[in-house]
């Protein structure tokens, strides 16, 4: 009982030391509960079966991520415990001097950890339950669920999962604390406050050489990820710029301590103004002793910025794409004249009967299955596409083929080009509400919206490359691809459609038939019933002889898109926020530890007449620089990281990158900035303690 009272008294006395620790634990518990309670929130949702399956898969992914998150938080808690142990070395030394056994000291730490853990779990779970209700609204809005049945939800599974995971973490911390106490020597504990870390002065000229080498190495890594994108498809090529970036980051932090002192000391008017020399010396010594830690924090912040920006961009872009790229309710497609390309289709698993019977349009094929597709649509159009082995991708590149093949060796240059009559494409464009085109009999246009392929095609179009189609020589009308698409999707997937005059087309080379329409009804349940009836046709025995048209509908695309968007968003937010909290907490705890060690230096400054305002200003600058340096380098990394990410994400569209970056900045200001203010206030209190 006495040890419990002593533990409680110690917590009250050292509450300013525990502030960041306590704050971090509460946030960790709350976030862990919120993201693991998502499946329980879906109970009140009236969603389709396919959406429920997507949510279930998303929760499986989040559960896997939670295991990784628990390791990150576990490491963070152990790191925080090390700081708190160091802060109380003298206190433990006095206990040992007074005759208290190490076992009792371990018990004191056990009760303190237990009390802090219990309070953190209670407050964190309470905050998590409240935040999870707000999250449920976000999830419901994302999946367009029926909120008329909205109710307060408490997730028992998330509650017990959080308790179990964090109990294991606290148990590990207790074992760690016991181990640390058992290894302590009395003399080290009593003199801990007088010890300082060994500071090795680095040769400033060596630091300059190392810094310049690191900048060159980093510049090379930046160039690879922004200019050699297609070469990074192989894992070994991807690892090269990553390793270069990590090594360069480490070398930059290693060289900074000597570099800053050398540069700043040469600026006499600045260096000797106020307490600048003291602040810079303190900062230099910190960088000197935390090179590895600063590197890890910088890389974690880099990952956080890229993760949050990318996942929010995917979400915003995919939501925007649904409106733009699914302008009709449904599209059905069927292959025609497959016997012309017999061997190719056999490789895809089609049988001889299906290939020979590929003579029917979408509407005619449905009629063979006794299904009148037109009866469900208020308006519709039918168009065709064409293909020939005489016009493949390499033919459209003309004289630029060799240089493009050298630059982009991973592309398939033998694929058939999709060809359309200008009248058919304009029919689709009018139905979609997109731009229509006109051309002469000796001209062609390429419409595409996949940026990488647009850039490649533009190389040939700018050179005015002509093509030969069905005996007609055609020149490009424009010196670049025009924006447009045919197939509905949530992504920009059109790599190129060749538009030609109707008179150029040979009907014998009809390749696909498209049926695009809008349903008579807008009722979601009735639309789902229609699409279920169409899906049931796949069970018809006739499918062994005839190829059933494939379909893509706005409803199906929307549900799949929302599921993928939600999964990417939640996993990105989960990891991004945890990494951000961990980075800021580690920096904060390190600063508090430094403030504890430097308390006597500030006492000396007071004795020589430095006023409190100047001391506070010096401390603020010192902590500000320590927080800003890894963040600034992480932001520089992120600029090139986001450029690379945009190339990966271009299939989703990157128009929504700016709102995503703004939201990421808000997260950083709120969490990272919050930790900075807490750290400054706690450090200010530490240096003002009575000696």
- Could you give the 3-state DSSP secondary structure of residue 6? helix
Is residue 149 scored above 80 in pLDDT?
no
- Global pTM reads 0.73
Please, are residues 552 and 488 in contact by the beta-carbon 8 Å criterion?
yes
- Report the C-alpha gap between 453 and 458 in whole angstroms: 8
Please, are residues 565 and 142 in contact by the beta-carbon 8 Å criterion?
yes
More confident residue, 180 or 427: 427
Sheet holding 510-519, edge to edge: 467-469, 472-476, 443-447, 497-500, 418-421, 377-386, 510-519, 330-335, 550-553
Q: Select, from the ranges 176-185, 310-319, 453-462, 660-669, the one with the highest average predicted confidence (pLDDT).
A: 453-462
Q: What pLDDT was estimated at residue 282? A: 66
121, HSE (Cβ side, Cα atoms, 13 Å) = 19
**pLDDT tens for each residue of 222-266:** 888 877 655 555 555 677 888 888 999 988 888 876 666 656 555
> Tokens at residue 625, please?
């620089």
Closest CA to 109 of 3, 16, 18, 17: 3
> Tokens at residue 435, please?
């731009």
- Could you give the 3-state DSSP secondary structure of residue 632? helix
Please, are residues 177 and 81 in contact by the beta-carbon 8 Å criterion?
yes
More confident residue, 325 or 273: 325
- Could you give the 3-state DSSP secondary structure of residue 421? strand
550, HSE (Cβ side, Cα atoms, 13 Å) = 6
Q: How many C-beta atoms surround the C-beta of residue 228 within 10 A? A: 13
**pLDDT tens for each residue of 157-171:** 888 888 888 888 777
- Could you give the 3-state DSSP secondary structure of residue 472? strand
List the alpha helices (DSSP H) in 477-553: 524-536
**pLDDT tens for each residue of 40-61:** 665 445 555 666 666 677 777 7
Share of the chain above pLDDT 70, in %: 73
**pLDDT tens for each residue of 641-655:** 888 877 776 666 666
Q: Cα 640 to chain center, whole Å?
A: 15
Q: Select, from the ranges 345-349, 359-363, 420-424, the one with the highest average predicted confidence (pLDDT).
A: 420-424
């Amino acid at each position: 009982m006495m040890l419990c009272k002593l533990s409680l008294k110690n917590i009250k006395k050292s509450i300013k030391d525990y502030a960041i620790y306590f704050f971090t634990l509460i946030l960790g518990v709350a976030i862990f509960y919120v993201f693991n309670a998502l499946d329980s929130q879906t109970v009140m949702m009236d969603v389709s079966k396919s959406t429920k399956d997507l949510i279930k898969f998303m929760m499986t992914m989040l559960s896997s991520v939670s295991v990784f998150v628990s390791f990150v938080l576990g490491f963070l808690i152990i790191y925080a415990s090390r700081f708190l142990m160091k802060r109380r070395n003298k206190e433990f030394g006095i206990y040992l001097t007074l005759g208290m056994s190490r076992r009792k000291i371990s018990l004191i730490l056990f009760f303190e950890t237990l009390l802090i853990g219990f309070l953190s779990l209670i407050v964190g779970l309470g905050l998590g339950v409240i935040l999870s209700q707000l999250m449920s609204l976000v999830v419901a809005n994302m999946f367009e669920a029926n909120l008329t049945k909205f109710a307060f939800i408490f997730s028992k599974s998330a509650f017990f999962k959080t308790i179990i995971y964090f109990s294991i973490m606290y148990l590990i911390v207790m074992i760690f604390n016991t181990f640390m106490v058992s290894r302590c020597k009395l003399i080290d504990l009593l003199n801990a406050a007088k010890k300082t870390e060994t500071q090795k002065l680095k040769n400033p000229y060596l630091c300059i050489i190392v810094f310049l080498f690191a900048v060159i190495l980093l510049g090379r890594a930046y160039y690879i990820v922004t200019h050699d994108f297609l070469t990074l498809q192989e894992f070994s090529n991807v690892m090269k710029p990553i390793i270069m970036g990590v090594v360069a980051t480490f070398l930059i932090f290693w060289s900074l301590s000597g570099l800053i002192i050398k540069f700043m000391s040469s600026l006499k008017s600045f260096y000797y103004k106020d307490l600048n020399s003291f602040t810079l010396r303190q900062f230099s010594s910190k960088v000197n002793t935390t090179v590895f830690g600063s590197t890890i924090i910088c890389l974690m912040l880099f990952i956080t910025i890229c993760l949050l920006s990318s996942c929010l961009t995917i979400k915003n872009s995919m939501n925007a794409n649904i409106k733009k790229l699914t302008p009709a309710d449904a599209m059905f497609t069927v292959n025609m004249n497959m016997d012309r390309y017999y061997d190719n289709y056999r490789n895809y698993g089609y049988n001889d009967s299906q290939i020979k019977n590929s003579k029917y349009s979408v509407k005619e094929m449905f009629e063979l299955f006794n299904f009148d597709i037109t009866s469900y649509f208020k308006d519709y159009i039918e168009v065709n596409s064409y293909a020939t082995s005489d016009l493949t991708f390499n033919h459209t590149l003309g004289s630029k083929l060799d240089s493009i093949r050298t630059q982009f060796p991973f592309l398939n240059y033998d694929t058939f080009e999709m060809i359309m009559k200008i009248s058919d494409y304009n029919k689709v464009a009018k139905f979609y509400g997109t731009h229509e085109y006109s051309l002469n009999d000796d001209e062609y246009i390429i419409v595409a919206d996949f940026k990488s392929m647009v850039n490649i095609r533009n190389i040939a179009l700018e050179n005015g490359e002509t093509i030969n189609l069905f005996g007609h020589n055609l020149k490009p009308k424009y010196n670049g691809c025009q924006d447009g698409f045919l197939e509905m999707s949530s992504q920009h997937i059109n790599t190129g459609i060749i538009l030609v005059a109707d008179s150029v087309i040979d009907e014998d080379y009809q390749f696909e038939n498209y049926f695009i329409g809008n349903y008579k009804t807008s009722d979601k349940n009735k639309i789902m019933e229609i699409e279920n009836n169409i899906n049931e046709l796949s069970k018809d025995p006739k499918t062994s002889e005839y190829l059933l048209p494939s379909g893509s509908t706005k409803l199906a695309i929307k549900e799949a898109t929302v599921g993928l968007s939600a999964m990417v968003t939640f996993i990105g937010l989960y990891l991004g926020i945890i990494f951000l909290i961990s980075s800021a907490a580690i920096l904060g705890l390190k600063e508090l530890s430094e403030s504890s060690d430097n308390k006597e230096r500030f006492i000396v400054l007071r004795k020589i007449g430095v006023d409190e305002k100047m001391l506070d200003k010096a401390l603020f600058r010192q902590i500000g620089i320590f927080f800003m340096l890894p963040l600034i380098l992480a932001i520089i990394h992120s600029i090139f990281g986001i450029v690379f990410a945009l190339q990966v994400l271009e299939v989703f569209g990157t128009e929504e990158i700016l709102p995503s970056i703004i939201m990421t900045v808000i997260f950083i200001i709120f969490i990272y900035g919050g930790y900075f203010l807490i750290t400054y206030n706690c450090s200010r209190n530490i240096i003002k303690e009575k000696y």
